[in-house]
């Protein structure tokens, strides 16, 4: 009986956190006026490795920004590409009026991987604010404009922006998009509580002085992953109340779902590899709660199948898990204009436990392959 009470307490805590997240999501401020207030000079940093097939549309999106072109620059930092990425950027430079520079990480051997690329970009940046995205992303014409409005209205030092997966019409990619939307929603809600846990480096902006004030990536620069979340945690710790989420559809950055399962698993292993290096309680507690709640549901199902518990226990446990999920996901997916993804929530419930357990165990080991590199445990 004590065991059952513990399981239900876990699910009850999960339900309260998810319902609280839905409340926090609803209360997130939306920029009211994009046209008033001072404009800051932005430096957009794009770390790239072998993005020849993806980078040009992003650069063209930046050409179409409504933000004054005299008030932002673009630094493309090449991380040892072996395709034609540098040639593509140089060709673009010849015919674009944007302020674009191409930097080579290979020229700075003391700097490594994505964090090194961002550090190099920051060191060369003219802007007072750094805006980061990835070479395989697309941005709205008003992206920088709404970032500036958020900066002014929320007096932020770091802004986490929404990221959305685009997908083909197959169940695997749509499941990715559903799970990814949930992560963005929970991360945004935690920022609304001023307990930042998750953000995404594909849409992240911060004051250069704040980056330098927390000594950049020092303390976790040996980790291949975490260029986004560790920095957010450090800025929140030094400047409480200065982290904001930009809840505006014009701020959405789009990137593609991963079509191949093997590449998807390597990406999730990369994400999970940083969990054990969290120093703050909130992100650790959230990760443990999500894992234990999903396991608890399966345990109750197993006990019901075995006849140890009545089936009504399972239906009650399922409601405690599923209803809060729906309460949070419905408005988040509505924001992304992807409400049809709710059709996949049942399938996600079935697959989530083995998926989370596998990525947690593999991520804890710390070995994964990404961008043609093999990363070993640290």
The residue among 198, 171, 192, 375 whose CA lies nearest residue 286 is 198
Give the pLDDT confidence score for residue 376 in this predicted structure: 47
d(CA 358, CA 345): 20
DSSP state of 259: S
- The average confidence (pLDDT) of the chain is 90
* pLDDT band, residue 152 (cuts 50/70/90): very high
- Decide if 74 contacts 98 (C-beta within 8 A): yes
d(CA 210, CA 235): 7
> What architecture is domain 30-260?
Alpha-Beta Complex (3.90)
What angle is formed at CA 375 by the lines to CA 370 and CA 378, rounded to 5 degrees?
140
- Decide if 248 contacts 150 (C-beta within 8 A): yes
Q: Which residue has the higher pLDDT, 271 or 46?
A: 46
d(CA 84, CA 82): 7
The 10s digit of each residue's pLDDT in 132-142 is: 999 999 999 99
The 10s digit of each residue's pLDDT in 307-320 is: 888 888 889 989 99
In the Cβ-directed half-sphere of 50, how many Cα atoms lie within 13 Å? 7
Given a cut of 80, whether residue 227 has pLDDT beyond it is no
d(CA 170, CA 172): 6
Identify each DSSP E strand in the chain by its residue range. 42-48, 72-78, 100-104, 129-132, 137-138, 158-160, 163-166, 204-207, 243-245, 253-256, 368-370, 373-375
How confident is the model over 150-169, as a mean pLDDT?
95
DSSP character string of 61-106: HHHT-SS-GGGEEEEEEE-S--SSHHHHHHHHHHH--S-EEEEEGG
Given a cut of 60, whether residue 374 has pLDDT beyond it is no
Give the pLDDT confidence score for residue 28 in this predicted structure: 97
Q: Which residue has the higher pLDDT, 166 or 269?
A: 166
Given a cut of 80, whether residue 12 has pLDDT beyond it is yes
* pLDDT band, residue 223 (cuts 50/70/90): confident
All CATH 3.90.550.10 domain ranges of the chain, comma separated, are: 30-260
The 10s digit of each residue's pLDDT in 87-133 is: 999 999 999 999 999 999 988 888 878 889 999 999 999 999 999 99
Give the pLDDT confidence score for residue 175 in this predicted structure: 94
Give the pLDDT confidence score for residue 375 in this predicted structure: 52
- Decide if 91 contacts 15 (C-beta within 8 A): no
Given a cut of 60, whether residue 241 has pLDDT beyond it is yes
Give the pLDDT confidence score for residue 34 in this predicted structure: 66
Given a cut of 50, whether residue 352 has pLDDT beyond it is yes
Exposed/middle/buried for 84, CB within 10 Å: 0-12, 13-18, 19+?
middle
Residue corresponding to tokens 């932002």: 72
The whole-model pTM stands at: 0.92
């Amino acid at each position: 009986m004590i065991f059952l009470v513990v399981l239900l307490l876990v699910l009850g805590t999960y339900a309260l956190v998810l319902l609280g997240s839905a409340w926090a999501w609803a209360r997130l401020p939306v920029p009211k006026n994009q046209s008033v207030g001072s404009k800051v000079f932005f430096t957009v940093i794009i770390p790239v490795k072998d993005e020849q097939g993806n980078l040009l549309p992003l650069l063209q999106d930046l050409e179409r920004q409504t933000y004054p072109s005299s008030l932002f620059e673009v630094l493309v930092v090449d991380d040892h590409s072996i395709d034609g990425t540098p040639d593509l950027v140089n060709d673009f430079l010849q015919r674009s009026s944007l302020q674009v520079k191409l930097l080579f990480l290979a020229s700075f051997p003391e700097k490594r991987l994505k964090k090194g690329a961002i550090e190099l970009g920051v060191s060369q940046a003219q802007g007072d604010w750094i805006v980061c995205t990835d070479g395989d992303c697309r941005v709205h014409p008003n992206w920088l404009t709404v970032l500036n409005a958020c900066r002014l209205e929320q007096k932020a030092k770091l802004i986490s922006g929404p990221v959305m997966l685009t997908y083909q019409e197959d169940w695997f990619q749509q499941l990715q998009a559903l799970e990814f939307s949930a992560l963005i929603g929970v991360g945004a809600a935690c920022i609304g509580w001023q307990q930042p846990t998750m953000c995404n480096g594909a849409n992240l902006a911060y004051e250069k002085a704040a980056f330098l004030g927390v000594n950049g990536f020092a303390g976790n620069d040996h980790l291949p992953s975490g260029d986004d979340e560790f920095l957010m945690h450090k800025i929140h710790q030094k400047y409480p109340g200065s982290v904001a989420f930009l809840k505006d559809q014009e701020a959405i950055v789009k990137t593609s779902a991963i079509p191949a399962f093997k590449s998807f698993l390597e990406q999730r292993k990369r994400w999970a590899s940083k969990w054990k290096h969290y120093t703050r309680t909130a992100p650790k507690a959230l990760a443990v709660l999500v894992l234990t709640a999903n396991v608890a549901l399966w345990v109750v199902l197993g006990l019901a199948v075995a006849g140890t518990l009545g089936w009504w226990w399972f239906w009650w446990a399922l409601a405690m898990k599923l209803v809060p999920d729906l309460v949070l996901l419905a408005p988040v997916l509505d924001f992304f204009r992807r409400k049809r993804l709710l059709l996949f929530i049942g399938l996600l419930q079935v697959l989530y436990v083995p998926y989370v357990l596998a990525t947690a165990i593999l991520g804890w080991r710390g070995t994964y392959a990404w961008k043609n590199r093999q990363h070993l445990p640290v």
